[in-house]
Amino acid sequence: MSNKEKYNQAFMETLEVSENELAGLTYTGIPAWDSVGHMALMAAVEDAFDIMMETDDIIDFSSYEKGMEILSKKYDVEF
Amino acid sequence: MMWNFSSFGNNTALIDDSGKKYTYSELDTAGKQLADAVGKRCLVFSFCLNSPGSVIGYTSFINHGIVPALLSAHLEKDLRKDLIETYKPSFIWAPSDMEGEFDGYEKVYSAYDYVLMKAANGSDAKLHEDLALLLTTSGSTGSPKFVRQSYENIKSNTESIIEYLNIDSSERAITTLPMNYTYGLSIINTHLMAGATIILTEKTLMQKEFWELFKKEEATSFGGVPYTYEMLDRLRFFRMDLPSLRYMTQAGGKLTPELHKKFAEHSIENGREFIVMYGQCEATARMGYLPAEYSVAKYGSMGIAIPGGKLLIIDVDGKEIEEPEVSGELVYEGPNVTLGYAECAEDLSKGDERNGRLETGDMAKRDEDGFYYIVGRKKRFLKIFGNRTNLDEVDRMIKTEFGNVDCTSGGVDDCLYIFVTDDNLVEPVKKFVVEKTGFHHSAIKVVKLDEIPKNDSGKVLYKELEKYYS
């Protein structure tokens, strides 16, 4: 699985969304991405890439796109 | 008057998301104007956010003898409609962007991004003279039930909390809970009575903006339900630099003993206090608290009775259990025990039905030093992210929607299990419950069984369902 696929998978499984809904998705933009959903999503992303994210990055992870930016800049995940 | 705002004049009462400040004088003046626009003692549905307009509405109504029912601005639309039809409030106070959402109500006043809307045909339901406030206890399951709180309930509980938490005008609490939720409301009640400051935000712990506001406005305290502390632990809270923070409170369900200990120890090491508390909407807000100095020695305990109240444990015959380490139902007595419930508009004329005594539905024991521990539940309910969720009501809600199907519910805190006997119901039931309750889908599991275990008389054998709660 490519990194993009792994990343998408984490969103689709924890937030119960389909692939075509991912672009532009933001925190609290859908009911499932609330603080509970965010915890689950962060755990899934960490598992998928075998990383431990810093607090600042967890609270900055405010959209689908922002997450990719954080992962590629700070955790060497190439998309 | 519940709050004497004029005595705190230029103290800052509220700070909003953007850093804008509102003094006590402003609260006083704005409250009078709003009360004049309502013009009489009547029922108002107030749709809450953690925002100045929401707080100004609430305090104005209470201070001027107008009875608000506090509901979430995010309440599911059908439930909202049912409640309005059941109680026919004379007015609605709601965020301005909800203005067009209420049929039969017309805008008569607006301030602070809120609108006051008057009913074309409001009922003039008789309101008992002691009735101050209506709060939902299990509104999330669609039951139109309110807890009736009196002026004396709110005042006595607020004063008691101020006393045991030592709240003075230097405190600056930041909101982490909705204000229509009794615990969130108690933080607002206490701080406004003490002349302190409340930092209002709709942002959550999972957002950078929350922590930026926290630091910029130098928050001194916050409250959280068990799930809040799990999130903080996950966010590596113990590594955060928050010099302004003085204390944290926890209520809304039982924290795991491990997390209780962890937060208690970390707080002491950092010169802070961690106070676990116990309460219910039926007792206004608080009944018990574990004083900070015992937070480590007695971790896992819900503490002792709050000032002015009394806790006791009774056996199945209702007789008080005097000896330690024997469990029974926890009973509370005090001036904050609410009047009772309302299930329809006519109930609003009822007086006190509880006489200062509340059987909590929680099973507890007391240790030799007099500290109480929750050990289980007598009644069928769960706490889902701090919200008391009545399982009988969950069953009823599903049966109403899906035509009396065979189903039942159970689970553990923060995870509701629903059992059905038809494969085709698994997905629709889950979707329905998520929509109605607003709980995150990960907290709801629907399991298909061949049959629901029942005894000969048709009663569900809940014990046999426990093996599914992984």
Query: Contact B216/B182 with Cβ under 8 angstroms?
Result: no
Distances (CA, A) of B247 to B60, B172, B196, B311, B397: 29, 11, 15, 25, 40
For residues B55 and B464, what is the distance between their CA atoms, to the nearest angstrom?
46
Residues 6+ apart with CB under 8 A from B416: B382, B384, B389, B394, B409, B433, B439, B443, B444, B445
> Is it the case that residue B124 has pLDDT exceeding 80?
no
Establish if B70 belongs to a structural domain. Answer: no
> Is it the case that residue B121 has pLDDT exceeding 90?
no
Same domain, B251 and B387: no
| Any A CB within 8 A of B194 CB | no
| Any A CB within 8 A of B235 CB | yes
Residues from chain A contacting residue B230 (CB–CB below 8 Å): 39
pLDDT confidence band for B143 (50 / 70 / 90): confident
Domain ranges of chain A: 3-15+26-74
| pLDDT tens figures, A36-51 | 999 999 999 999 999 9
Establish if B47 belongs to a structural domain. Answer: no
- Chain B closest-CA separation from residue A4 CA (Å): 24
> Which has more confidence, B14 or B121?
B14
Token digits of residue B122: 């409001």
Average pLDDT over residues B306-320: 96
Establish if B296 belongs to a structural domain. Answer: yes
> Is it the case that residue B228 has pLDDT exceeding 70?
yes
The distance of Cα B224 from the centroid of its chain, to the nearest Å, equals: 11
Residues from chain A contacting residue B234 (CB–CB below 8 Å): 39, 42, 58
From A36, A58, A62, residue closest to B442, measured CB to CB: A36
CB contact under 8 A, A36 and B204: no
pLDDT confidence band for B142 (50 / 70 / 90): low
For residues B84 and B68, what is the distance between their CA atoms, to the nearest angstrom?
13
Residue B387's pLDDT is what? 86
Same domain, B204 and B180: yes
| AA identity, residue A69 | E
Residues from chain A contacting residue B206 (CB–CB below 8 Å): 27, 35, 38-39, 58-59
CB contact under 8 A, A35 and B205: yes
| pLDDT tens figures, B157-205 | 999 999 999 999 999 999 999 999 999 999 999 999 999 999 999 999 9
| Any A CB within 8 A of B206 CB | yes
Q: Which residue of A has its CA nearest to B414?
A: A36
Helix H or strand E segment including B4:
none
CB contact under 8 A, B438 and A40: no
pLDDT tens per residue, chain A (79 residues)? Answer: 999 999 999 999 999 999 999 999 999 999 899 999 999 999 999 999 999 999 999 999 999 999 999 999 999 999 9
For residues B123 and B110, what is the distance between their CA atoms, to the nearest angstrom?
22
Give chain B's largest Cα–Cα span: 69
Strands, E, within B348-461: which ranges?
357-366, 372-377, 381-384, 387-390, 407-412, 415-420, 444-448
CATH number at residue B424: 3.30.300.30
Range of the domain at B240: 151-338+350-379
| Any A CB within 8 A of B212 CB | no
Establish if B366 belongs to a structural domain. Answer: yes
Query: Contact A17/A32 with Cβ under 8 angstroms?
Result: yes
Query: Chain A window 12-41: which residues touch B at a Cβ cutoff of 8 Å?
Result: 14, 16, 27, 31-32, 34-40
DSSP state letters, B291-308:
-GGGTTTTTT--BEEPTT
Which letter does DSSP use for residue B180 in this model?
T
Residues from chain A contacting residue B440 (CB–CB below 8 Å): 31-32, 34, 36-37
Same domain, B358 and B228: yes
Residues from chain A contacting residue B240 (CB–CB below 8 Å): 55
Strands, E, within B228-336: which ranges?
247-250, 273-279, 286-289, 304-305, 310-314, 328-333
CB contact under 8 A, A59 and B442: no
Q: Which residue of A has its CA nearest to B232?
A: A55
Residue B339's pLDDT is what? 98
| Any A CB within 8 A of B77 CB | no
Same domain, B305 and B449: no
- Chain B closest-CA separation from residue A33 CA (Å): 8
Same domain, B206 and B313: yes
From A32, A39, A56, residue closest to B231, measured CB to CB: A39
Task: Tell me which of B437, B440, B446 to substitute to probe the interface with A (most A C-beta atoms closer than 10 Å).
Answer: B440
Residues from chain A contacting residue B441 (CB–CB below 8 Å): 16, 32
In whole numbers, what is the pLDDT of chain B averaged over residues?
94
Residue A55's pLDDT is what? 93
Measuring CA to CA, which residue among B172, B210, B219, B162 is closest to residue B2? Answer: B162
Same domain, B272 and B185: yes
Task: Sort B97 into a burial class: Cβ within 10 Å, 0-12 / 13-18 / 19+.
Answer: exposed
Helix H or strand E segment including B86:
helix B77-87
| Any A CB within 8 A of B234 CB | yes
Q: Which residue of B has its CA nearest to A13?
A: B442
CB contact under 8 A, B204 and A14: no
Average pLDDT over residues B119-148: 85
For residues B129 and B65, what is the distance between their CA atoms, to the nearest angstrom?
9
Strands, E, within B114-199: which ranges?
114-119, 131-136, 146-150, 172-174, 197-199
The neighbour count for residue B19, using CB atoms within 10 Å, is 10
For residues B452 and B465, what is the distance between their CA atoms, to the nearest angstrom?
9
Same domain, B196 and B321: yes
Same domain, B232 and B256: yes
Same domain, B192 and B254: yes
Residues from chain B contacting residue A55 (CB–CB below 8 Å): 235-236, 239-240
Q: pTM of whole model > 0.80? A: yes
CATH number at residue B326: 3.40.50.12780
Same domain, B393 and B420: yes
Average pLDDT over residues B325-345: 96
| Any A CB within 8 A of B442 CB | yes
| pLDDT tens figures, B431-448 | 999 988 889 999 999 999
For residues B311 and B366, what is the distance between their CA atoms, to the nearest angstrom?
10
> Is it the case that residue B141 has pLDDT exceeding 80?
no
- Residue given tokens 């701080």 in the structure block: B191
CB contact under 8 A, B440 and A42: no
Establish if B405 belongs to a structural domain. Answer: yes
Task: Tell me which of B140, B206, B208 to substitute to probe the interface with A (most A C-beta atoms closer than 10 Å).
Answer: B206
Token digits of residue B344: 């329809």
Same domain, B160 and B304: yes
| Any B CB within 8 A of A55 CB | yes
Helix H or strand E segment including B182:
helix B182-193
Helix H or strand E segment including B22:
strand B21-23
| Any B CB within 8 A of A59 CB | yes
Establish if B107 belongs to a structural domain. Answer: no
Distances (CA, A) of B273 to B165, B262, B270, B293: 10, 12, 9, 8
Establish if B209 belongs to a structural domain. Answer: yes
CB contact under 8 A, A35 and B204: yes
Task: Tell me which of A27, A30, A36, A66 to substitute to probe the interface with B (most B C-beta atoms closer than 10 Å).
Answer: A36
Establish if B3 belongs to a structural domain. Answer: no
| pLDDT tens figures, B74-113 | 998 988 999 999 999 999 999 999 999 999 999 999 999 9
> How many separate domains does chain B show?
2
Residues 6+ apart with CB under 8 A from B456: none
Same domain, B358 and B462: no
